[in-house]
Amino acid sequence: MQKLIITCAISGAEVTKAQNPAVPYTALEMAEQAYLAYHQGASIIHLHAREDDGTPTQSAERFRIIMEAIKKRCPDVIIQVSTGGAVGMSRDERLQPIVLNPQMATLDCGTLNFGGDDIFINTENDIIYFAHVLQERAVFKELECFEKGHIDSVLRLVKKGHIHAPLHFSFVLGVNGGMSGEERDFMFLKDSIPSDATYSVAGIGKYEFSLAKLAIEHGGHVRVGLEDNIFIEKGVLAASNGELVKKVVTMAKVANREIASPAEARQILRMEK
């Protein structure tokens, strides 16, 4: 079985210090949380930018400052920038950090109800536009899928030549408006992607560690972090992103699955840079 790639989503755009004081806002806090995750075994840092007061931003300059701070602490870690942005942002607003030519970025593969009146819009033309921009800049894409229809959209766009291999999926399960994170959901998505594709699983809230266990056992990869879940166990706040990563490493050891370094993660995913 391949070594396990652990991605850590250190901050997200919505979770706040009021919910968990460990959530990072400033560049120095981001770098510290990234280092703690990397030190425990994360090879990929999933990055949302925040202003010092916690306001989410897609500013390329803010991403640059944060990315440089992270690279000083962990030079070889893979930084995966988020192009999700915030509800209501235009395509180009969301794509601002791509001018920095990151090694890796997310590509959201469908529209989702986020609760209330919030709709995370990703039309087919949005997906095509994002895919072409990432391809032109040779940025490795992680295909974020919140339900089965998103996978079907990806496979259709692959046939049309808009999305190119290698294909690396991220199953984000347990989001309001998307698929839940039960074992049946995981198996359905896992069995719906091409045999030569790779995948990672992000379980939101209570699904984080149960889905991590399934991914470890079935040869997939895992995403954890304060963006997805602020608790290390029921009712107990996680002290850091590192603590969440450490729990996954312990689970992997029980399953006799080794942890991938950043260099090994690049090889497994067939990244070009």
Maximum alpha-carbon separation in the chain: 47
Please state, in angstroms and rounded to a whole number, the distance separating the CA atoms of residues 83 and 106. Answer: 6
Q: Report pLDDT digits (tens) over 91-128.
A: 999 999 999 999 999 999 999 998 788 889 999 999 99
Name 56's bridge partners.
Answer: 50
Cβ–Cβ under 8 Å, residues 245 and 6: yes
Q: Which residue from 7, 74, 22, 9 is spatially nearest to 48, judged by alpha carbons?
A: 9
Q: For residues 74-83, give the mean pLDDT.
A: 98
Instruction: Write the DSSP assignment of the chain as a string of letters.
Output: -PPBPEEEE-S-SS--TTT-TT---SHHHHHHHHHHHHHHT--EEEE-EE-TTS-EE--HHHHHHHHHHHHHH-TTPEEEE-----TT--HHHHTGGGGG--SEEEEE-S-EEEETTEEE---HHHHHHHHHHHHHTT-EEEEEESSHHHHHHHHHHHHTTSS-SSPEEEEEES-TTS----HHHHHHHHTTS-TT-EEEEEE-GGGHHHHHHHHHHTT-EEEESTTT-SEEETTEE-S-HHHHHHHHHHHHHHTT-PBPPHHHHHHHHT---
Neighbour-count burial for 171-193, b at 16+ CB within 10 Å, e otherwise: bbbbbeebbebeeebbeebbebb
Please state, in angstroms and rounded to a whole number, the distance separating the CA atoms of residues 108 and 67. Answer: 21
Q: Report pLDDT digits (tens) over 32-48.
A: 999 999 999 999 999 99
Please state, in angstroms and rounded to a whole number, the distance separating the CA atoms of residues 225 and 244. Answer: 6
What phi, psi does 208 have (nearest 5°)?
A: -55, -55
pLDDT at 232 over 90: yes
pLDDT at 250 over 70: yes
**Two tokens at 172?**
């984000």
pLDDT at 88 over 90: no
Confidence (pLDDT) at 111: 95
Please state, in angstroms and rounded to a whole number, the distance separating the CA atoms of residues 169 and 179. Answer: 15
Confidence (pLDDT) at 230: 98
Cβ–Cβ under 8 Å, residues 129 and 90: no
What residues have CB less than 8 Å from 116, skipping those under 6 apart? none
The letter for the amino acid at 147 is: E
Confidence (pLDDT) at 273: 64
**Two tokens at 163?**
């999305």
Cβ–Cβ under 8 Å, residues 4 and 201: no
Q: What is the CA radius of gyration of the chain?
A: 17
Sketch the domain layout of the chain as residue ranges: 6-269
Q: Report pLDDT digits (tens) over 153-206.
A: 999 999 999 999 999 999 999 998 899 999 999 999 999 999 999 999 999 999
Superfamily of domain 6-269: Aldolase class I (3.20.20.70)
Q: Which pTM value belongs to this model?
A: 0.97
